[in-house]
A and B are shown apart, each in its own frame.
Chain A
Amino acid sequence: MLNVASVNKSFDGFMAVNDTDLTVEKGQVVAVIGPNGAGKTTLFKLITGHLHPDQGQILFKGEDISALPPYEVCRKGISLSFQVVNIFSRLTVFENVQAAVLSHLKKTYKLFSPARNQAVRETWEILDNVGLTKKADGVSGALSHGDQKVLEIAIALGNAPELLILDEPTAGMSPEETAVAINLIHRLTAELGLTILFCEHDMELVFSIAHSIMVMQQGKSLIEGDPETVKNNPLVQEAYLGEST
């Protein structure tokens, strides 16, 4: 479904992503792991069109999307949930998700029909799914960090993506919040059957849900394979997992 082939991206001479490959098949859950600064977020932003690669190809369903702006990439069916909370802070929780649904339903140029009657059912469905129903009327900027991260994912779901990209879904969460988030991601894969590409430092989460894992180090893709292969690869043990395995 998604095929990243020998992609390069440098900032002022610093190779953030260097000759990286990644494949995501439909229905798969793929994890990208690697130490801080390995280029995971940059790789995701290259896929979603926030950055454009210097070299290489990014194919989504056979189409090169590497030169498209973010809104075009989104319309092709790829949603991103940001690592750092990136929501519409003055809007309510409901309106946050509704904005994404409105965009998905191509209703953003409707000028005279009240917004509160639009995309309501779809929005509630998502809020129910992620467990934010009770907080729907609150201003999103006032939510706790954990809830904001869940809202992050909810907004990304608003576009009914074929491929959902989660950039560190549990970053900065308390242990309780992490448990809730992990539970949510489990449900997204199990019940909705979403194709997910994510990166995460929580190894327990990674190895419990990923079908395939790609290890990144210093901008390069070190290895890509199923969890067992990755776990047992000496290079990976040395580079990232260390003695913990």
Chain B
Amino acid sequence: MFAAAINKRSFGIAVTLLVLLGVLPFFLDRFYIYLTALILVTGLLATSLNMVLGYGGMYQFHHAVFYGVGAYACALTLIKTDLPPYAGFIVGPVVAAAVGVIMGLICVRLSKLYFGMLQIALGSLVWAIVYRWYSFTGGDDGLHGVPVPDLISSINGAYYFTLIITALCMVLIYLIINSPFGRIFQAIRDNPERSETIGVNVKRHQLVGLTIAAFFGGVAGSLFVTVEGSVFPDLMFWTLSLEILIMCLLGGWFTFLGPMVGAGIVVSLQTFVGMYTEYWTLIMGIILILLIFFLPEGVLGFFLERFSSREQAMSAEK
């Protein structure tokens, strides 16, 4: 019904959006290109979080760890090894996924809130190591002037690289969510007990889901290196995890593009309100409170609901 009906239309929307984003550099100046790239990267990160949060029902409270680990692994590969430059963009996600497997093996034993709390603890451990290990990670200074490959080091190069990889990852995540694995993942979200009863190894599916999400988080991290040319420990600090969690809720965590929309809103707010006042989090807080009261399904969730109820009314009239 809805899923089948929206497919053709949403495909059209996706293509239009992609074309629009593709021609953007011809119209906008550097700053806005940079901002759009940042939104895409953050949006991919939020989407990868939402894969386990909204579709898997897992309380992934510290997803930024995988973003940071991906970014650092990518940057360190570019700086310290003689591997071909683009290898960094494979190493980043793979290392993030590996960290995902290790953290997952420890965390999926617990459920719901305990899962999230343990993840925050383990993630903070990773952050502390990065924050202190000056000789390797640059400590709290981070690493700057990462030698990004020439082709993608210009602002437009970085933008197109980010756009292509983000689009590719979004397609992959969409496929995974709508695959048998994704279906079972949603079943686990709705009812873990029943999932076990129909023969699903819940813990193992959660581990696989977490690993995939960590991988895409790592991809986002590597893209951040491309856009920013530097990495710092804040990338894996828990406040960022909270921010992307808010993006998911804000955009609508039961919708596919919601987190991307949420990222757009938060990053723009951060940038534009941040220009006038350093208290932009105050504005953010007010928006969040309003959101909880008026749009509990998120911005995109709200519009989709309106959309589908209007459609139902129309088909009922026929």
Chain A residues close to B by CB (< 8 Å): 48, 50, 69-71, 74-75, 79-80, 82, 86-92, 95-96, 98-100, 102-104, 107-116, 118-119, 137, 155-156, 158-159
Give the complex CA separation of A108 and B1 in angstroms.
Answer: 23
B4 pairs with A116, CB closer than 8 A: yes
Count residues of B near A (Cβ-Cβ below 8 Å): 32
Main secondary structure of the interface of B (DSSP, over half): helix
A114 pairs with B196, CB closer than 8 A: no
Chain B hits for A80, CB < 8 A: 197
A99 pairs with B181, CB closer than 8 A: no
Q: Report how many A-B pairs have Cβ atoms within 8 Å.
A: 113
B183 pairs with A113, CB closer than 8 A: no
Chain B hits for A92, CB < 8 A: 1
Give the complex CA separation of A108 and B180 in angstroms.
Answer: 5
A103 → B minimal CB distance (Å): 4
A108 pairs with B186, CB closer than 8 A: no
Give the complex CA separation of A111 and B178 in angstroms.
Answer: 8
Give the complex CA separation of A155 and B194 in angstroms.
Answer: 9
Closest to A74 in B: B199
Q: Among A82, A86, A87, A102, point to the contact of B183 (Cβ < 8 A).
A: A102
Q: A88-B195, A99-B200, A156-B198 are in contact. List 10 more A-B contacts (CB 8 A).
A: A71-B198, A71-B201, A86-B193, A88-B186, A91-B190, A99-B198, A107-B180, A112-B175, A115-B183, A116-B3
Task: Supply 12 A–B pairs (Cβ within 8 Å), ascending by A.
Answer: A71-B196, A74-B197, A86-B191, A102-B184, A103-B184, A103-B198, A104-B199, A110-B180, A110-B181, A111-B179, A118-B180, A137-B1
Across the A-B interface, the 10 shortest Cβ-Cβ residue pairs:
A74-B199, A88-B190, A70-B196, A100-B198, A99-B187, A115-B183, A137-B1, A110-B180, A103-B199, A108-B184
Chain B hits for A114, CB < 8 A: 175, 178-179
A113 pairs with B191, CB closer than 8 A: no
